[in-house]
């Protein structure tokens, strides 16, 4: 084919996992080729995931905070939303980052080949560039092909009123009445955005709580707040049918008692999870096994069954998070470059950037109970944090789980504004094997939300003297 290339390390997919792996391998002296289907580098996270959603969540936060200041003596006039302006800003943030990646690739002499890549043999990928094919051969390969949204058989995905997170982030218009199908992190972040923009929101979730991975007490402050703001939140309820009509999408719900009811929406966001892209790569031609769900299994060095082929990111399993993909990407690149490295992180924090933010890392209480792990907890309610009250918010909670035998911290759940940033301290504490005294004797700046970690450790020790 036109312009065949060879890479000592070839990376398939340029999301956070792929670009981290490519850059690391190049920095370690390898000749690297990065294959990406789309013209813009950065994968889901930069183009249609983490980054555009966080830009929109910032806009949502400004809208709700100004609205809520009305109760504290400052009122603003009703905001004028210029969707074109907002979209341009969000797209600009994405462009700045993806353009930056292209520059970083160039600096490192990472060759980017654009097109859809598929394996044709154990050392060969064929890339369909749109106007021909290019053959990319490799000594070692890192598969980082990511994931895409799950589609539901009974939902008319070809109706333009049905969108996934990518469609919702396009910001075409502000629907009057929107159904969020799936109450996980992505669905609830999108709900938060469209609620702030003025849509009436209904959320439907099959499980008995929103954000099923997190402890119920940590999700509760969010559930309470959005329960007041949104039209409806249906738990233990499934959607069984969606009928496109002229005036809207008629949705049939069924609750856990088998009762059915219907409602009509002008937009449905389907956010019921993501499927790995493993099944689309002809990986078996390279001798790499893909399971029936499309995942590729790897060992602690990110190696597939073929020792010269690695896999990382959403493609290798849960949690499907960018920081996990990045970490795995670096591990794979270092191992491929002959360094001793393995994936040995103790915790991978999860964060929902909703309002309030919900974050957890390490063991949850639910998991501890299920696994029979002995634990004791220290819980600090933010209603007793001066900083939280001065933000006009009192619903937050910081919960630390400890091993009662040695007082080491083994898990954390947090809810409240900025919980996603605050949790990093406890992630470090868990990685370092810190105990309650380490957290309670570290002087935290006052008044900050970070003190809630200090206070939760003191609650566990029973030494707390002042709640402020
Ligand atoms: P991806 O980012 O999925 O990238 C894979 C890349 O491979 C894509 O660019 C794709 O085009 C390319 N590709 C696939 N197959 C081929 C092929 N055959 N040939 C060539 N190229 C191919 N995570 C967080 O940690 N924090 C967040 O705040 C967050 N927010 C999110 C919000 C939304 C709306 C969504 C959808 C996801 C969010 N995520 C978040 C998840 C995060 O985006 C993913 O975990 C992350 O992007 C996974 O990285 P990855 O490298 O595995 O793959």
Checking if the pLDDT of 285 tops 90, the result is yes
Checking if the pLDDT of 219 tops 80, the result is yes
pLDDT of residue 466: 64
Q: What is the pTM of this model?
A: 0.97
- Let me know: does 86 contact 43? Beta carbons within 8 Å: no
pLDDT of residue 252: 98
Checking if the pLDDT of 464 tops 90, the result is no
Helix (H, G, I), strand (E, B) or coil at 342: coil
Give me the mean pLDDT over the 400-407 stretch.
98
Give me the mean pLDDT over the 290-315 stretch.
98
Q: Taking the chain, what is the end-to-end CA distance rounded to the nearest angstrom?
A: 69
Beta strands in 74-195 (DSSP E): 111-114, 116-121, 124-128, 133-143, 147-149, 162-163, 177-181
Around ligand 1, the residues with Cβ closer than 6 Å are 12-18, 35-38, 43-45, 49-50, 53, 116-117, 144-147, 165, 186, 277, 280-281, 313-315, 320-323, 325, 353
43 Cα nearest atom in ligand 1: 9
Checking if the pLDDT of 467 tops 90, the result is no
pLDDT of residue 9: 98
Confidence band, pLDDT 50/70/90 cuts, at residue 2: low
CA nearest to 195, candidates 319, 355, 324 = 355
Checking if the pLDDT of 3 tops 90, the result is no
Angstrom distance (rounded) from CA 299 to CA 113: 28
| Closest residue by CA, ligand 1 atom 11 | 37
Residue pLDDT, tens place only, 176-204? 999 999 999 999 999 999 999 999 999 99
| Closest residue by CA, ligand 1 atom 32 | 49
Q: How far is the CA of 191 from the centre of ligand 1 (A)?
A: 20
Angstrom distance (rounded) from CA 17 to CA 46: 12
As a whole number, the mean pLDDT across the chain is 97
| Proportion of the chain above pLDDT 70, given as a percent | 99
Least confident interval from 20-24, 323-327, 368-372, 464-468: 464-468
Ligand 1 pocket test, pick from 145, 191, 193, 427 with the greatest ligand atom count within 8 Å of Cβ, gives: 145
Give me the mean pLDDT over the 244-261 stretch.
98
CA nearest to 68, candidates 381, 358, 417 = 417
Confidence band, pLDDT 50/70/90 cuts, at residue 247: very high
Q: How far is the CA of 45 from the centre of ligand 1 (A)?
A: 5
CA angle, residues 253, 258, 259, in degrees to nearest 5 = 60
Q: How far is the CA of 192 from the centre of ligand 1 (A)?
A: 21
Q: How far is the CA of 149 from the centre of ligand 1 (A)?
A: 10
Q: How far is the CA of 278 from the centre of ligand 1 (A)?
A: 13
Checking if the pLDDT of 384 tops 60, the result is yes
Residue with tokens 């974050």: 359
Confidence band, pLDDT 50/70/90 cuts, at residue 1: low
ipTM over 0.85: yes
Angstrom distance (rounded) from CA 127 to CA 36: 9
274 Cα nearest atom in ligand 1: 36
CA nearest to 366, candidates 184, 183, 219 = 219
Checking if the pLDDT of 209 tops 70, the result is yes
Annotated catalytic residue 157: no
322 Cα nearest atom in ligand 1: 25
Catalytic residue among 300, 339, 441, 446: 446
| Closest residue by CA, ligand 1 atom 23 | 321
Token reading at 462 = 């029973």
Count of alpha carbons within 13 angstroms of residue 318, beta-carbon side: 5
């Amino acid at each position: 084919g036109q312009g065949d290339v060879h890479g000592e390390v070839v990376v398939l997919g340029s999301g956070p996992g792929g670009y981290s792996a490519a850059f690391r391998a190049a920095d370690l002296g390898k000749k690297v080729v990065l294959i990406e289907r789309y013209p813009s580098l950065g994968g889901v996270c930069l183009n249609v995931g983490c980054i555009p959603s966080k830009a929109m969540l910032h806009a949502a936060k400004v809208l709700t905070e100004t609205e809520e200041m009305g109760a504290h003596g400052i009122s603003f006039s009703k905001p004028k939303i210029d969707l074109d302006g907002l979209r341009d800003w969000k797209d600009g943030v994405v462009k700045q980052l993806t353009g930056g990646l292209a520059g970083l690739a160039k600096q490192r002499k990472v060759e980017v080949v654009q097109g859809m890549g598929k394996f044709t043999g154990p050392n060969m990928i064929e890339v369909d560039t749109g106007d021909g094919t290019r053959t990319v051969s490799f000594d070692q390969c890192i598969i980082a092909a990511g994931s895409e949204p799950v589609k539901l058989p009974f939902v008319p995905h070809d109706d333009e009123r049905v969108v996934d997170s990518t469609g919702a982030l396009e910001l075409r218009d502000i629907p009057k009445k929107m159904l969020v199908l799936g109450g996980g992190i992505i669905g609830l972040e999108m709900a938060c955005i469209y609620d702030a923009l003025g849509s009436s929101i209904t959320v439907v979730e099959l499980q008995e709580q929103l954000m099923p991975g997190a402890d119920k007490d940590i999700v509760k402050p969010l559930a309470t707040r959005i329960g007041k703001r949104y039209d409806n939140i249906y738990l233990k309820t499934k959607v069984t049918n969606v009928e496109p009509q002229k005036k809207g999408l008629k949705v049939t719900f069924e609750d856990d008692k088998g009762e059915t009811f219907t409602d009509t929406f002008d937009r449905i966001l389907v956010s019921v999870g993501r499927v790995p892209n493993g099944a689309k790569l002809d990986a078996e031609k390279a001798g790499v096994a893909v399971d029936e769900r499309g995942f590729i299994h790897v060992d602690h060095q990110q190696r597939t069954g073929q020792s010269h082929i690695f896999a990382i990111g959403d493609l290798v399993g849960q949690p499907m998070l960018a920081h996990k993909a990045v970490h795995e990407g670096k591990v794979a690149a270092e191992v491929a470059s002959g360094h001793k490295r393995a994936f040995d992180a103790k915790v991978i924090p999860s964060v929902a950037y909703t309002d309030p933010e919900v974050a957890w890392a390490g063991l949850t209480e639910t998991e501890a109970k299920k696994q029979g792990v002995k634990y004791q907890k220290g819980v600090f309610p933010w209603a007793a944090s001066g900083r939280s009250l001065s933000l006009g918010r009192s619903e937050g909670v910081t919960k630390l789980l400890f091993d009662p035998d040695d007082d080491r911290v083994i898990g954390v759940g947090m809810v409240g504004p900025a919980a996603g940033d605050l949790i990093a301290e406890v992630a470090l504490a868990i990685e370092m094997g810190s105990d309650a005294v380490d957290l309670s004797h570290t002087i935290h700046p006052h008044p900050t939300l970070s003190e809630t970690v200090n206070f939760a450790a003191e609650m566990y020790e029973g030494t707390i003297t002042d709640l402020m």
